[in-house]
Homo-oligomer: A and B are copies of this chain.
Amino acid sequence: MTLTRRDFAKLGALGLAAQFVPTLDAQAPEKRIGFAVIGIGRIAGHFMPATLSTTNCRLTGLVSGHRDKAESTAAKYGVPQSSIYNYDNFDDIAHNPAIDAVYVALPNSMHAEYTIRAAKAGKHVLCEKPMSTNVAEAESMIAACKAANVKLMIAYRCHYEPTNLKAVRLIREGALGQVQAIESSFGFNIAPGEWRYNKKLAGGGPVFDVGIYSLNACRYLTGEEPDHITANTSVIDHDGRFNEVEENCSWAMRFPSGIVASCSTTYGANMPGYFRVYGSKGWLQVDNAFVYEGLHLRAEYKGTKLDELNPARDPSHFVAEGEHFSHCVQNGLEPKSAGEEGLRDMRYITEIYRSAGISI
């Protein structure tokens, strides 16, 4: 399929350009950034197909403790059997020139170790959020990547997602006047048997896993760093899921300009994930702001009324973040969501827990 620039402009107007971008200016396989995916779980299941729709990414390696699963995945994506690694021989990726980078899709507690080992193997790192389970790990990840002169990007999808970016742009352009307050929440009713409520693996509960989206959104929407954070956590359901981590958290933040934010997260109820921004001249809301599709922007300001449902489908967010990362690697640029961005959230998460009387 080929598209003229005019065709592309039309698709853009329909909001459909994102799905077709990869067919424009697609790089030859050998020019693309070759990724080894570490951990073939749920999130990798979004990232791997996304690479096929990018201009500049390809899958060139797999790291898994499950050889069978790795072999069938390798076959599906054309990864040579010789580029399948396990957690013991992982460091051998250093000698595989087809692997330029790793995508760390492991439980949170393993992010630091595999980021640092990848850096030592000379590979660039795209690491899932939350960056780590504490501030010290995050700092050591940044240091390791600096020392190895490799790029480190945290996979904050929303930094590269058009509806979130439009919300940010409207705010920066002053559409809402002076922003005063933001509300945001994100959560889900967690199934039994998940690693996510094992504190050693996850670092904490929904604050780490999904609350981080609201926290991060308040930061990119304001363009500021919070100077006061205060929180409550709780456990309601004593059914074995929350022996180690919180079930619910509500927190309040203040930013240096005076903008206030109120947020909540849970592992005990479905919270579709949204933010609403109130300004002196109007408001703006994105529903499904943090999920893979169905992002819905509504706004009213200065006589303008917006109601825009983003038609992009999963895995478009992963395409966008993969392309940004590869572009940065190819051009020696710093990723927009570099390690320092993840570190900041780790500091704020620590503060949320500290305020609620929990140490991490």
Contacts and interface: CB of A to CB of B under 8 A. Distances in A.
A269 B232 contact: no
Interface in A233-273: 233-237, 247-254, 257-266, 268-271
Given A181-B185, A269-B280, A283-B269, A234 B252 contact: no
Interface in A158-211: 177-181, 183, 185, 187, 189
Contact of A260 (B180, B260, B264): B264
Nearest to A231: B252
Given A230-B230, A230-B231, A251-B252, A183 B262 contact: yes
Contacts of A261: 250, 264
Contacts of A258: 234-236, 247-248
Given A232-B254, A254-B234, A264-B260, A248 B181 contact: yes
Given A252-B231, A278-B271, A280-B268, A262 B185 contact: yes
Contact of A262 (B179, B235, B237, B263): B263
A335 interface: no
A180 B283 contact: no
Contacts of A185: 181, 183, 262, 278
Contacts of A283: 269-271
A130 B180 CA distance: 23
A19 interface: no
Contacts of A180: 187, 236, 247-248, 266, 268-269
Chain A interface, >50% SS class: strand
A181 B260 contact: no
A228 interface: yes
Interface string A129-167: 000000000000000000000000000000000000000
Nearest to A252: B250
Contacts of A260: 232-234, 248-250, 264, 266
Nearest to A176: B269
A204 to B, nearest CB: 15
B278 A355 contact: no
A122 interface: no
A53 to B, nearest CB: 33
Contacts of A232: 228, 230, 252-254, 260
A6 to B, nearest CB: 41
A237 to B, nearest CB: 7
A22 interface: no
16 contacts: A180-B187, A180-B248, A180-B268, A181-B185, A181-B250, A181-B265, A181-B271, A183-B185, A228-B232, A230-B232, A231-B252, A235-B258, A236-B259, A247-B258, A250-B260, A250-B262
Interface of A: 177-181, 183, 185, 187, 189, 228, 230-237, 247-254, 257-266, 268-271, 278-280, 283, 355
Given A181-B248, A181-B269, A251-B252, 5 more contacts: A180-B247, A181-B185, A183-B185, A230-B355, A266-B278
